[in-house]
Amino acid sequence: MTDAIQSAHDTTIVVAKRSKLRKLADNKTLWRGIASIILFILFWEVSSQSKVWFGIQVPFIGKVPPPSAVLENWVEVVQRPGYWQSWYLSFMRVFFGFIVAMIVGIPFGMALAVNRYFRDIFFPPFEVLRPIPPLAWVPASIIFWPTTELSIAFVTFLGAFFTIVINVLGGARTIDVQYLRAAQSMGASQWDLFRRIILPGTLPSIFTGAAVGMGITWEVVVAAEMISGGGQQSGGGLGFFIWSSYMGGSLAQVVVGMISIGIAGYFSSSMIRYIGYLFMPWRRIF
């Protein structure tokens, strides 16, 4: 498989060398995306500057600070180390919870998929716990874990864990039986079957689970930071940043926090997509 990745990679490089810039310039999707973001910002600026449209009070957007004010605030905020500290803390929490969820969730989901006894024993409790929203775990988690940091990490973990497991299980159970039959008649052992058929066959679902799980982790981390006040011991995080900006009455700064989370989330899911791209050369669209 590594060889396959390598050769596919080589092809990509050749294509990339030939016309990377040109392609970028020709990319209509990209230009449309940029244009629509600019339009959106313009619309936002104009409408939040003029609170009254044709004599009608605009209910929502009139209260939002204009992008110029947000930008101004942002320029000021990025000079404060506390802001970057918040980024750092939230990222660490998200990644800690997420990575633990992957490490525990993938083998757990696989075991559920391939072993009947394991499934009979562990699936029922799993299904009872799964519908509980991660945030409902916050109080119990605070009582249960010695530090706020750990309780936030635990809740974050739960957010990703259930999604990842259910995706891995679903993916592994729906592998086309013909692949299994073909491999078996070619003499694959149980281990070969697992390693060379079930595992790669489940990879797409693993990455789907990871992408959805990553989204949930950000939701959960931000909410947990708000609820726990970021913690006296730990403090900070982008969720807490938003909350304290709100308490301090700076609406522009609240929006700065919101956009920061948007960027952080986008960055995280791009990373997952990129890793998926590296791991699944056969799914690349040329």
Partner 1 sequence: MAVKKKKTSRQKASPAVRERGTISIRNVTKIYDPEGVNVMAVDNCSLEIEAGEVCMIVGPSGCGKTTLLNVIAGFHSLTSGEIYLDDELLCGPDKPLANQGADRMVVFQNGALFPWKSLLDNVAYGPMVQGILSKSDARDKARDMLAEAGMIDVADKFPGEVSSGMARRAEIVRALINDPKVLLLDEPYRAMDALTKSIMHEALLAMYDRTKVTIFFITHDLEEAIFLGDRVVVMTTRPARTKKIVSVKIPRPRDYKLLSSEQFRLLVEETKDAVHEEAIKAFEAGERELA
150 versus 180: smaller Cβ distance to partner 1: 180
The reply on whether position 9 binds partner 1 by CB under 8 A is no
58 versus 280: smaller Cβ distance to partner 1: 280
Shortest distance (Å) from residue 277 CB to partner 1: 14
Please give the helix or strand (H or E) that residue 275 lies within, else none. helix 251-279
The reply on whether position 1 binds partner 1 by CB under 8 A is yes
Q: Which residues contact 143 (CB under 8 A, 6 or more apart)?
A: none
The reply on whether position 197 binds partner 1 by CB under 8 A is yes
Single residue of 88, 179, 194, 246 touching partner 1 by CB under 8 A: 179
The reply on whether position 15 binds partner 1 by CB under 8 A is no
Q: How far is CA 217 from CA 19, 23, 72, 131, 264, in A?
A: 37, 35, 30, 16, 12
Shortest distance (Å) from residue 113 CB to partner 1: 17
State which of positions 222-251 bind partner 1 (CB under 8 A): none
Q: How far apart are CA 23 and CA 29, in angstroms?
A: 11
Q: How far apart are CA 257 and CA 254, in angstroms?
A: 5
CA within 13 Å, CB half, 13: 6
- Dihedral angle of Cα 189, 192, 193, 194, to the nearest 10 degrees: 130
The reply on whether position 278 binds partner 1 by CB under 8 A is no
Shortest distance (Å) from residue 118 CB to partner 1: 24
Structure-token pair, residue 250: 């700076």
Interface residue list for partner 1 (CB under 8 A) = 1, 3-4, 7, 176, 178-179, 181-189, 192, 196-197, 200-201, 203, 280-283, 286
